Amino acid sequence: MYRNLLVPLDGSPFSEHALPFACGIAQRSGAGLHLAHVHVLGDPIYIEGMPVVDGELRSLGREHERAYLDRIRTQLASTTLAITCADLDSDSSVAGVLARYAEANAIDLVVMTAHGRRGLARAWPGSVADTLVRCSPVPLLLLRPGKGAPDKAMAQTPQFKRILIPLDGSALSEEILQPALELGSLAQAEYVLVRVVEPFIVVDYAPLAQASRLDTKLTQEQMAEARHDLDRVAERLRTTGRSIHVRVLLAEQPAVAILDEAHRQDADLIAMTTHGRSGLARLLLGSVADKVLRGAALPVLLQRPQAGSS
């Protein structure tokens, strides 16, 4: 069960949309709530070539940030939660500071909003959520922000009644199972295990042309093997009385198939492991989890592989 939740805040109403969800999870699980703001150290002002740091302005900015966290704490007073406010320093990576705080304070889950920018614009500059996915030692629950100001005075009970969990047959992909089950237990959720099988295409080289065709037999064999693997996982999870369903999909684009299945299943949450690639490798190769996160309109729970996973 959750002991500590972390909600990163940047001073904007946008980031505060995570608060009702986090409060609801904390109340249902009895967890403490950590509110963290990362103070980015400003660049010095240069006068005649010499760097000058305005200590007075920096102090005023720090006081403003602390007052902001205190205001949020006051607004959440009616929740009776144990709240810890942390004003953290960073001169480089905000995500790195949050990851270190999570590890040092036994955080079990990070709850935050994701900007949801798309395409190259998002891949190039990145975002705190985007980077934190690749360095966090704990799972992240990423939410799309709602419209208007969030209601911070009232906890929003998690309504994760149906959770879609894509698996690929590897032990790495199954690392998301425990975090998903723990979050789903707060609302007695049903779980849908999904495996996407790509069609097995055979390429024929004719003298003047190249043609491709679907190898129906091999594709069906792969789908049967996938179903067997999912049934094995499902049976293991059903021993505790959980409602587990399995779905094997045939599709050339796994991320698109997962998003379509989430819509068909009326899922409230997609939970999956991410490979955690970064930089040019991620931009060129991407990952299924990365594409799902970009395209999903519903919350996504992501788990970075732990050290030693293969």
Using DSSP, state whether 53 is helix, strand or coil.
coil
- Residue range 175-195: mean pLDDT, rounded: 94
Q: Is 33 or 52 the better-scoring residue by pLDDT?
A: 33
Angstrom distance (rounded) from CA 10 to CA 298? 22
Tokens encoding 30: 């009895």
Which tens digit of pLDDT belongs to each residue from 242-263? 999 999 999 989 999 999 999 9
Domain limits, the chain: 1-157, 159-310
Domains 1-157 and 159-310 share a fold: yes
- The amino acid at residue 64 is H
Angstrom distance (rounded) from CA 173 to CA 305? 8
C-alpha neighbours within 13 Å on the C-beta side of residue 195 = 23
What mean pLDDT is reported for the chain?
82
Angstrom distance (rounded) from CA 11 to CA 32? 21
Does position 181 have pLDDT exceeding 90, yes or no? yes
Q: Is 240 or 6 the better-scoring residue by pLDDT?
A: 6
Please name the residue that has the structure tokens 């237990």.
Answer: 185
Which residues, 6+ apart, have CB-to-CB distance to 53 below 8 Å?
Answer: 42, 44, 45
Does position 161 have pLDDT exceeding 70, yes or no? yes
Angstrom distance (rounded) from CA 13 to CA 113? 10
Q: Which helix (H) or strand (E) holds 289?
A: helix 288-295
Specify the pLDDT at position 150. Answer: 65
Least confidently predicted of 3-12, 116-125, 294-303: 116-125
The architecture (CATH level 2) of 159-310 comes to 3-Layer(aba) Sandwich (3.40)
Beta strands across the sheet bearing 243-250: 83-90, 32-40, 4-8, 109-113, 140-143, 300-303, 269-273, 162-166, 190-197, 243-250
- Residue range 122-147: mean pLDDT, rounded: 76
Q: What share of the chain is helix, strand, coil (3-state, %, to 5)?
A: 40, 25, 35
For residues 4 and 32, the answer to whether their CB atoms sit within 8 Å is yes
Angstrom distance (rounded) from CA 114 to CA 129? 6
Angstrom distance (rounded) from CA 97 to CA 8? 11
For residues 132 and 102, the answer to whether their CB atoms sit within 8 Å is no
Measured in degrees and rounded to the nearest 5, phi and psi for residue 235 equal: -65, -35
Using DSSP, state whether 263 is helix, strand or coil.
helix
Specify the pLDDT at position 89. Answer: 86
Q: Which fold has domain 1-157?
A: Rossmann fold (3.40.50)
Tokens encoding 188: 């007695």
- Residue range 175-185: mean pLDDT, rounded: 94
For residues 114 and 143, the answer to whether their CB atoms sit within 8 Å is yes
Handedness of CA 112, 259, 155, 26 (dihedral sign): negative
Nearest to 256 by CA among 196, 176, 167, 173: 196
Angstrom distance (rounded) from CA 62 to CA 73? 17
Please name the residue that has the structure tokens 């900007």.
Answer: 115
For residues 22 and 28, the answer to whether their CB atoms sit within 8 Å is no
Does position 103 have pLDDT exceeding 90, yes or no? yes
- Residue range 178-186: mean pLDDT, rounded: 94
